[in-house]
Amino acid sequence: MAEISLTFPDGTSRSFPAGVTPAEVAAGISGSLAKKAISATVSGTHWDMQWPITANASIAIHTMKDDAQALELIRHDCAHIMARAVQELWPGVKVTIGPVIENGFYYDFDREEPFTPEDLGAIEAKMREIINLRDPVTTEIWDRARAVRHYEDTNEPYKVELVGMIPEGQPIRMYWHGDWQDLCRGPHFQTTGQVPADAFKLMKVAGAYWRGESSRPMLQRIYGVAFRTRQDLKDHLTFLEEAEKRDHRRLGREMDLFHMQEEAPGQVFWHPNGWNIYTALQDYMRRQQNRNGYVEVNTPQVVDRRLWEASGHWEKYQEHMFVVEVDEEHAREKSINALKPMNCPCHVEIFKQGLKSYRELPLRMAEFGACNRYEPSGALHGIMRVRGFTQDDAHIFCREAHIEEETRRFIEMLSAVYRDLGFEEFKVKFSDRPEMRAGSDNVWDKAETALKNATDAAGYTYTLNPGEGAFYGPKLEFVLTDAIGRDWQCGTLQVDFVLPERLEAAYIAEDGAKHRPVMLHRAILGSFERFIGILIENFAGRLPFWLAPRQVVVASIVSDADAYVHEVTAALKAAGVRAEADTRNEKINYKVREHSVGKVPVILAIGQKEVENRTVSVRRLGQKQTEVMDLDTLVTGLRAEATPPDLR
């Protein structure tokens, strides 16, 4: 029999007969390793203990101590065990796919009746039964015809389709535990009993399209989470509770920031507190834009369809536009308008006023542009995904030769803004030319190179999204990571060769002739609504002092202090601090609790002592101890804290 050589992680090699399995290799090393082993990595591939190795390879044997591999097996086996549990409980339910996802797994089923929360409990119980059976897991490779026939015989049409999708030359692998069988690329545990029975939980059931396509049948997806230990599961559930406490919809209510109601779905009613955040952020962005050479404009909300037809939005974007029919009393015919979903066409119209010289380029035109888009109802989510929003939008009209420098300048501005707003790190994604595109390859070459060079020059690395660019040009996307590890794509810069052409924007160059400018669409926050939502969740409502909606509440302890409370409040307001007096007939405990829940960063308590000494007792949010200081010192200190970071 042929021999192969396997190299171990410590660098040593040993010979084995070809076709040896990791299980046999482990047994050859020690009995205890054979018992503990769960899988192997063979030449970089996560390998089942029972798959034969037929060529020279590197090998590492894994035990439950190897995080990544253990979790993959646990979650993958959980998905299969869940599918088996479902089919045992409800024979006839059709199975589809069940992959591992972050923190867990899911499996999609085709079943007429919806699964209920009670069903999830029953499935969990059945899964524990299956785990306790400790059924050995076995695997075989089948040929395609046999697999197809098998799934036709067992009335599993989705599996038939999956078998058909497996590329030629890739093994069609079947797995069994007990009598239950599934098509699966593996690897899996050796027995169902290796799955920790107390460290998984089925979380929810939701609809999902077969193969992710909205034209295909809607399946029922059951999501679960799974870990190695009961404690890990508990920690995860605690984390979910913490995330829920940060939910901007909940904090928006608790902090009295905004509300939404069914008469205006997807649109925000900003309350005074929330609007304080909004204006503080907008004032800040306006200063940044001025400092970075932008001019600010403002353009109409309701615009005749002729402009949208010219820009191409009418054809490509109409289903997302709020169309407005204006039936003017004296007009001969109705005019059909749309609320602007984007600002770019209006900005081009401003650019087109008068003749522009090459000397005016690059022209950076910014607008806090209020846009309306008819988003699908299922997409709406608090203030994060809305139908009415305001972008920190700008368009840079320039020449091809400007793209690189403008991109570099933009990335610098964006990184300074993110840093000021509490996000030190961000990721850059670069999307290059899609299949369907406008413009010559030559122009795309130049634009893509310019974006890459500018990103390099600014000192950032990017990940490539091949073919994900817009049809009108390549784009950069900037992704923030929040305090609990979630990614948010906020900033973007897109090169556009098409719109200036469609709307016939031109400038006069050195040669005295008209030339087309290139447009760079760019945003840093994205929309104020969404970004404020992100800020709220990132800081769990405890915004940096300069952005806090109410920065200070001055609370009286006894009513004899009321006059001094109002004096302190007035002094703080005069110093530019958002301060409020609380002289209600309530105990200080009550006031402290209420304003703490409301995430007010500084609470001043004023009693008889403070009145007599002209001091204040300062309590910072989240701290138990208090500090007594004199009024002037406090005002000076808080004035500095209230100053936005760019003005310090």
Kindly list the residues in this chain that would bind RNA in the complex (CB under 7 A): 114, 116, 204-209, 212-214, 218, 220-221, 249, 253, 260, 262, 265-266, 313, 316-317, 341-342, 375-382, 385, 470-471, 556-560, 585-590, 592-593, 596-597, 603, 605, 607-610, 617, 619, 621-622, 624, 626, 628
Tell me how far apart the alpha carbons of residues 514 and 356 are, in angstroms, rounded to a whole number: 9
Q: Are 50 and 138 in contact (CB under 8 A)?
A: yes
Which is the catalytic residue, given 395, 402, 408, 578?
395
Closer of 189 and 444 to RNA (Cβ)? 444
At residue 223, φ and ψ (nearest 5 deg) are: -95, 140
DSSP for residue 166: S
Helix (H, G, I), strand (E, B) or coil at 119: helix
Q: Within 13 Å and on the Cβ side, how many CA atoms surround 160?
A: 11
The answer to whether residue 330 is catalytic is no
The answer to whether residue 371 is catalytic is no
The answer to whether residue 247 is catalytic is no
248 is in an annotated binding site: no
Closer of 172 and 602 to RNA (Cβ)? 602
Provide the minimum distance between the beta carbon of 114 and RNA in the complex, in angstroms, as a whole number.
4
The answer to whether residue 259 is catalytic is no
Which is the catalytic residue, given 69, 221, 288, 344?
344
Provide the minimum distance between the beta carbon of 530 and RNA in the complex, in angstroms, as a whole number.
10
Provide the minimum distance between the beta carbon of 310 and RNA in the complex, in angstroms, as a whole number.
14
CB burial readout 296-334, b (16+ within 10 A) else e:
ebebeeebebebbebbbbbeebeebbbebeeeeeeeeee
Q: Give how far Cα 264 sits from Cα of 269, 372, 380, Å.
A: 9, 12, 12
Closer of 112 and 441 to RNA (Cβ)? 112
Closer of 62 and 595 to RNA (Cβ)? 595
Provide the minimum distance between the beta carbon of 392 and RNA in the complex, in angstroms, as a whole number.
15
Closer of 42 and 602 to RNA (Cβ)? 602
Which is the catalytic residue, given 248, 373, 387, 437?
373
Tell me how far apart the alpha carbons of residues 337 and 309 are, in angstroms, rounded to a whole number: 11
Provide the minimum distance between the beta carbon of 470 and RNA in the complex, in angstroms, as a whole number.
4
Q: Are 299 and 307 in contact (CB under 8 A)?
A: no
Closer of 377 and 442 to RNA (Cβ)? 377
Q: Are 168 and 28 in contact (CB under 8 A)?
A: no
CB burial readout 469-499, b (16+ within 10 A) else e:
bbebbbbbbbebebeeeeebebbbbbbbbbb
Torsion 498-502-508-511 (CA) sign: positive
The answer to whether residue 393 is catalytic is yes
- Report which secondary-structure segment, H or E, holds 246: helix 230-246
Closest C-alpha to 82, from 62, 63, 103, 109: 109
Which is the catalytic residue, given 385, 521, 595, 619?
521
Tell me how far apart the alpha carbons of residues 115 and 106 are, in angstroms, rounded to a whole number: 14
259 is in an annotated binding site: no
Which is the catalytic residue, given 48, 108, 392, 393?
393
381 is in an annotated binding site: no
Which is the catalytic residue, given 50, 391, 494, 551?
391
Provide the minimum distance between the beta carbon of 489 and RNA in the complex, in angstroms, as a whole number.
8
Binding residues for Zn(2+): 344, 395, 521
Q: Which are the catalytic amino acids?
A: 344, 373, 391, 393, 395, 475, 521
